[in-house]
Amino acid sequence: MRHRSHHRRPGQPASPAAAAFTPDALSVGARHLEVGGEWVASFAVIGYPREVHPGWLAPLLTYPGRLDVSVHVEPIDPATAATRLKKQLAKLEAGRRHTAEHGRLFDPHVEAATEDAYDLSSRVARGEGKLFRVGLYLTIHATSQSALAEEVAALRSLCASLLLDAKHTTYRSLQGWVSTLPLGLDLIGMRRTFDTAALSAAFPFTSPDLPAPDPTSVAAPAGVLYGYNIGSQGLVHWDRFGTGMHNHNAVILGRSGAGKSYLVKLELLRSLYRGIEVAVVDPEYEYARLAPAVGGTTVHLGVPGVRLNPFDLPIHTRPDGRRTAPKDALVRRSLFLHTVIEVLLGGGPSPAERAALDRAIAATYQSVGITTDPRTWTRPSPELRTLRDQLASSGDTAGRELAARLHPFVEGAFKQLFDGPSTVQPEGHLVVFSLRDLPDQLKAIGTLLTLDVIWRRVSNPAIRRPRMVAVDEAWLLLQDKAGAEFLFRSAKAFRKYWAGLTVATQDVDDVLGTDLGKAVVANAATQILLRQAPQAIDEIARTFTLSAGERQFLLAADRGQGLLSTGTQRVAFQSMASPTEHYLVTSDPAELAEQDDDHAAAFVDLGPQPIEGEEISLDAP
């Protein structure tokens, strides 16, 4: 059946305003309409869940297709509401008595409806709420009949997941479509009675849940499970590496004992399930159980025999066996060695010493046959001792003074970290750098060497896979200039290498009290706030623009509870772990004393699969 879209006499021109908003014709079918070049189908919701949470209709608004949602509300005056409730209670009680007199089993649905009716009646009588007649109608749009069938199936699946019973407006498709237009007309008239609380929760202006990327998908949610939603009891999934993210960084702030390290380890462990390569800077050796359980590698800096030679060039081996390196690898390594010497000596050298150092670095590489020719870069690297000898034999005063200042790190008490070539090749799906065993005098240089290894790994173009770098107790790193600059550079540049930085710290002042710390927070698309101390809540509330309710929540949050902020969305969640995960990630001394090593779980090795990179070849032709 075909109708004209608006009534006018033949030959009369259409109003320009009307022509802009109305189709030329409508083709009306039993369950669909053809509106201009679109196919539409309308539904009336006739069944609702018994209990709802705030924003429970929000998934309809996040539907990826074009969906019109119309809610018609009509208030019921108190006298009429009281009369209807009285009649409804009389019917329910009569049915219960009839069932009891005949010895039949009680219907649980009738029992639940009776309890709800009594509760609603008492609240209406006390003036705690009012009654409304509500109609909910949906119209889905598509470009063809086959596409409409797919959209209808997806919409009905979404409604079923929300416990909504949506029925086609069969033979009333035109009335259903008009009921969803912004005209305020309800031509279907299929309504249900709502009280004030249920109606206010139905308005989908806000939602305690993160919007799903594809609400119609039957696949498992993408990303990492952080826990359950405190407001809706739903699960909180978030994908830091999802498409459309500005960056893949995350910052976790909370007071001591709030559960920062626990959450970092949970995210790390679940990211390994997804094939994400992870590197961890562990100042307190808290990953002692997790790393071996998942087949990870632990580098114990400070232990005798464990060395990372700062003179090593970034050489990468491709899957075909060829070795490659950046074209400016030697120049960049020479510049990095200036930073190494500055950290070792506890301050920048004078201009004369810097010039002597630059000449000595070039001479050091040449002494072992490494020149600007890339084919020489695969030769064994020099050591700090070689640089010291070059400075001592340079013939100028500045060089000899530098050589004398390097003596403790070559011949003295601090030589164990530099006395020989590198003894470890930190590679794998999980690499943990433990800094606990480093002496205080070598903390800064050990941290710098660790960060250099991580940066070289992340910036290796031969490995194309998502990677995550977790810096636990970042306040220790922020106290060092080189560590703070690394975090700043990583927060800015990791996105280009498909990598994400995770910064967790309990000292808010170290993060928000410096420009570098603020830059790290500003460049984190994912921000997690756990329980905060009253002394720090003002700065936190000002930086993250917290509401009064969010402020109070963070002050009173239990361990593991926090706010997950993803830009425009915030959700309060409670982290949760399985017994095996809890054993691997907990750091509670009381719990660890009761744990048994037999409870450790076995996991599948998720080793990396390098992909061919685009670099210069170091192999001779």
Segment 285-305, tens digit of pLDDT: 888 888 899 998 888 888 888
> What per-residue confidence (pLDDT) applies to 214?
54
Higher pLDDT, 430 or 81: 430
- Please give the full DSSP string across 36-71, using - where no structure is assigned: TTEEEEEEEEEE--SS--TTTTHHHHT-SS-EEEEE
Q: Collect all residues with Cβ–Cβ distance below 8 Å to 129 and sequence separation of at least 6.
A: 120, 123, 195, 196, 197
Provide the β-strand partners of residue 279. Answer: 431, 469
The pLDDT confidence band at residue 220, using thresholds 50, 70 and 90, is low
- Strand 165-168 vs strand 38-47: parallel, antiparallel, or unpaired? antiparallel
> What per-residue confidence (pLDDT) applies to 487?
77
Domain with CATH 3.40.50.300 in the chain: 244-308+422-599
Higher pLDDT, 42 or 609: 42
In this predicted structure, the answer to whether residue 601 has a pLDDT above a threshold of 60 is no
Record the tokens describing residue 63, joined without a space. 């539907």
> Which of 93-97, 210-214, 280-284, 461-465 comes out lowest in average pLDDT?
210-214
> What per-residue confidence (pLDDT) applies to 45?
94
pLDDT tens readout for residues 44-67 = 999 888 777 777 787 887 787 889
- Return the CATH architecture of domain 324-418: Orthogonal Bundle (1.10)
What does each C-alpha distance from 596 to 239, 262, 332 come to in angstroms?
33, 19, 48
> What per-residue confidence (pLDDT) applies to 197?
78
CA distance 613 to 9: 72
Q: Which CATH superfamily is domain 244-308+422-599 in?
A: P-loop containing nucleotide triphosphate hydrolases (3.40.50.300)
- Please give the full DSSP string across 137-171, using - where no structure is assigned: EEEEEESSHHHHHHHHHHHHHHHHHTT-EEEE-TT
CA distance 569 to 208: 9
The pLDDT confidence band at residue 142, using thresholds 50, 70 and 90, is very high
435, 443 in Cβ contact below 8 A?
yes
> Which of 139-148, 317-326, 449-458 comes out lowest in average pLDDT?
317-326
- Strand 224-229 vs strand 235-238: parallel, antiparallel, or unpaired? antiparallel
> What per-residue confidence (pLDDT) applies to 11?
47
> What per-residue confidence (pLDDT) applies to 43?
96
- Please give the full DSSP string across 393-462, using - where no structure is assigned: TS-SHHHHHHHHHTHHHHTSTTGGGTSSS------SSEEEEE-TTS-GGGHHHHHHHHHHHHHHHHT-TT
pLDDT tens readout for residues 307-335 = 888 888 877 666 566 677 777 788 888 88
> Which of 30-44, 186-200, 340-354, 358-372 comes out lowest in average pLDDT?
340-354
> What per-residue confidence (pLDDT) applies to 17?
53
Mean pLDDT confidence for 273-283: 88
> What per-residue confidence (pLDDT) applies to 4?
42
> Which of 136-140, 224-228, 244-248 comes out lowest in average pLDDT?
244-248
> What per-residue confidence (pLDDT) applies to 605?
44
Record the tokens describing residue 510, joined without a space. 């170290």
Q: What is the mean pLDDT of the chain?
A: 80
> What per-residue confidence (pLDDT) applies to 393?
86
> What per-residue confidence (pLDDT) applies to 218?
45
> Which of 38-47, 490-499, 594-603 comes out lowest in average pLDDT?
594-603
Crossing angle of the two packed helices 329-345 and 351-367, in degrees rounded to 10:
130
292, amino acid identity = P
Q: Would you state the torsion angle of the CA atoms of residues 582, 585, 590, 591, taken in this order, to the nearest 10 degrees?
A: 20
pLDDT tens readout for residues 183-215 = 889 999 998 888 877 888 777 655 556 655 555
Other C-beta atoms within 10 Å of 599: how many?
A: 12
- Please give the full DSSP string across 497-512, using - where no structure is assigned: GTEEEEEEES-HHHHH
DSSP for residue 565:
E
Task: Give me Rg for the CA atoms of the chain.
Answer: 33
Residue 30 CB-density burial (10 A; 0-12 exposed, 13-18 middle, 19+ buried): exposed
Higher pLDDT, 117 or 2: 117
Percentage of residues in the chain with pLDDT exceeding 90?
A: 14
> Which of 113-127, 211-225, 463-477, 585-599 comes out lowest in average pLDDT?
211-225
CA distance 539 to 535: 9
In this predicted structure, the answer to whether residue 616 has a pLDDT above a threshold of 70 is no
Cα–Cα–Cα angle for 247, 297, 378, rounded to 5 degrees: 85
Domain with CATH 1.10.8.730 in the chain: 324-418
Higher pLDDT, 475 or 146: 146
> What per-residue confidence (pLDDT) applies to 172?
93
In this predicted structure, the answer to whether residue 516 has a pLDDT above a threshold of 80 is no
> Which of 61-65, 258-262, 367-371 comes out lowest in average pLDDT?
61-65
